[in-house]
Amino acid sequence: MTAVLVPLSLLFVWSLMSDRMSRWSVTAPIAFAVAGAALAGGDRSAIGFDLDAHTFQKCVEVVLAVMLFTDATEARGYERLGRSVGEGRLLGLALPASVLLGTLAGVVLFPGTSWWLSAVAALVVMPADLAPVLNLLRDERVPLRVRAALNVEGGFNDGLVSPFFVFCVANLVSADGDTFTDLVLNTARGAAYAVLVGAVLGFLASWLVRRSRGAGWTGSTGLRTAGLALPFLACTASSAVGGNGFVAAFVTGLCYARTARPAVDGHLRLVHDVSHLMALAVWFTFGILIADEFADGVSLAVVVYAVLVLTVARFVPVVAALAGGGFSGAERAAVGWLGSRGVTSIVFAVLAYTQLSDGEAAFVAKVACATVLLSVVAHGVTAEPIARWFARRAPRETGGEGGLPPATPLRGTD
């Protein structure tokens, strides 16, 4: 009971004080991570919290499904730019290259670590999440194309990474008798079923929403409730036919948002609010992980790995992939550096933590915690100087493109 009462009380108090705390630069991720470390982390925690519980694992899976759905609905509205924001290059070239470099870094820095475990760690820490630089996305001093590239990448990369993450974890925990070919075929089959289920459900749901709205059968409240039900429905339906529930939730959100949006404004507001609440729980869990995994300190290899992941493994592939795509050198450098890490990495790390053996789970948790923590500090500190630099360099470029399209606040960052 205490494990439920304390976080809920924290949520209530934070909701009453969030605006005041933001003036002191205390954001929700910081507040809930600190609370998690202080109240539930370590051997002498004030409340009981079992990260290894089966029920907790299922809850985390639901959180990931909802977040993938909302991510797919957020990255939109950049048509007025009249040109690509580099999403194909970022997702098709830079992301795979970054994961490969992260995997190599893990093998080199941690001798004896298997390629599969190093790949899991890389897949956990590489997806960009915009929590540490949320304000930058609404800062018109920064070129809109830079902000758009970061927003689209942050919305799509976790959905693309999830099937590979599931595949690599399966290679580490598979029972005897499951060959590599079996795992590849199972993963491919699960992804194919998920795409099919997600596409059918997304388009069907959008058609039903438009028809219901047009006939006057429902109002804004009903449509918001329907939007909330979709990620759960997609995940459950896909799992029932042997598909990947995460991929299905992402594809459903992708199809639904792009065809149902004209039906009514704010029809996805409720599911985004729920995703925000779930993100706060994730940051609370992040605090627990930090307290547990860093209780005896952190090794130099883990710190070096986190630095390499946030710099070389991210920066070099992004800058190279965007070359010749219409970005200036400064814009490519900004996109390369501002690939912050946040909720996505934490959720993937917790999923790995609940499924891998103790030693493997501790390795993934340590590198994920170090990477996210360093990202929160480094990207949070450098975002404002970067915005000021762009304002001094080309004020007419940043001011003439206009602001970001209206968007739901990203997960747990208020």
Average pLDDT for 378-398: 78
Average pLDDT for 322-345: 90
Task: Give the angle 11-17-19 at the CA atoms, nearest 5°.
Answer: 115
Positive or negative, the CA dihedral 370, 57, 273, 147 is: positive
Burial level of 14, CB count in 10 A (0-12/13-18/19+)? middle
Higher pLDDT, 312 or 269: 312
Residue 376's CB: how many other CB atoms inside 10 A? 22
Domain boundaries, the chain: 2-400
Name the token pair of 132: 């540490």
Higher pLDDT, 166 or 98: 98
Given this model, what pLDDT does residue 122 score? 96
pLDDT higher than 90, residue 363: yes
Given this model, what pLDDT does residue 360 score? 92
Residue at 26: amino acid letter: V
> Looking at 3-17, 211-225, 235-249, 323-337, which range is the least confident one?
3-17
Given this model, what pLDDT does residue 215 score? 85
Question: How confident is residue 25, by pLDDT bands cut at 50, 70 and 90?
Answer: low
How do residues 35-48 score in pLDDT, each as one tens digit?
A: 888 876 666 665 65
Given this model, what pLDDT does residue 178 score? 66
H-assigned helices in 40-130: 54-74, 87-89, 95-109, 115-125
Positive or negative, the CA dihedral 25, 386, 370, 65 is: positive
Question: By the 8 A CB rule, do 120 and 359 touch?
Answer: no
Q: Would you mind telling me the total number of residues written for the chain in this entry?
A: 414
pLDDT higher than 90, residue 32: no
Given this model, what pLDDT does residue 80 score? 55
How do residues 401-413 score in pLDDT, each as one tens digit?
A: 544 444 444 455 5
Residue 210's CB: how many other CB atoms inside 10 A? 15
Question: How confident is residue 210, by pLDDT bands cut at 50, 70 and 90?
Answer: confident
Q: Which residue has the tokens 């069907």?
A: 204
54-63 core/surface letters (b: 16 or more CB in 10 A; e: else): eebeeebbbb
Whether the pTM exceeds 0.85: the reply is no
Closest alpha carbon to 405 in 303, 294, 257: 257
CATH architecture of 2-400: Up-down Bundle (1.20)
| First-last CA distance in the chain | 27
Given this model, what pLDDT does residue 2 score? 65
Task: Collapse the DSSP code of 136 into the 3-class scheme (helix H, G, I; strand E, B; otherwise coil) and give the result.
Answer: helix
pLDDT higher than 80, residue 182: no
Given this model, what pLDDT does residue 22 score? 66
- CA dist., res. 235 & res. 276, Å (int): 19
Closest alpha carbon to 88 in 149, 5, 14, 21: 149
pLDDT higher than 60, residue 306: yes
Residue at 374: amino acid letter: L
**Does residue 219 come out as left (phi exceeding 0), alpha (psi in the -120 to 50 range) or beta?**
beta
Question: How confident is residue 233, by pLDDT bands cut at 50, 70 and 90?
Answer: very high
Average pLDDT for 213-232: 88
Given this model, what pLDDT does residue 406 score? 42
Question: By the 8 A CB rule, do 106 and 311 touch?
Answer: no
How do residues 76-133 score in pLDDT, each as one tens digit?
A: 555 556 566 788 899 999 999 999 999 999 999 999 999 999 999 999 999 998 877 7
Closest alpha carbon to 88 in 311, 324, 297: 324
Given this model, what pLDDT does residue 87 score? 84
Given this model, what pLDDT does residue 353 score? 87
Average pLDDT for 220-244: 90
Task: State the maximum Cα–Cα separation within the chain, in Å, rounded to a whole number.
Answer: 64
pLDDT higher than 80, residue 223: yes
Average pLDDT for 165-188: 79
Name the token pair of 82: 């009249």
Name the token pair of 69: 């759905």
Given this model, what pLDDT does residue 76 score? 57
pLDDT higher than 90, residue 358: no
Across 96-105, 133-142, 212-221, which has the greatest mean pLDDT? 96-105
Tell me the CB-side half-sphere exposure of residue 226, using CA atoms within 13 A: 26
All residues at 6 or more sequence positions from 254 whose CB lies less than 8 Å from its CB, including other chains? 72, 73, 159, 198, 202
> Looking at 29-33, 147-151, 252-256, which range is the least confident one?
29-33
Higher pLDDT, 23 or 205: 205
- CA dist., res. 228 & res. 272, Å (int): 8
Average pLDDT for 295-309: 92
Question: What is the residue-averaged pLDDT of the chain?
Answer: 83
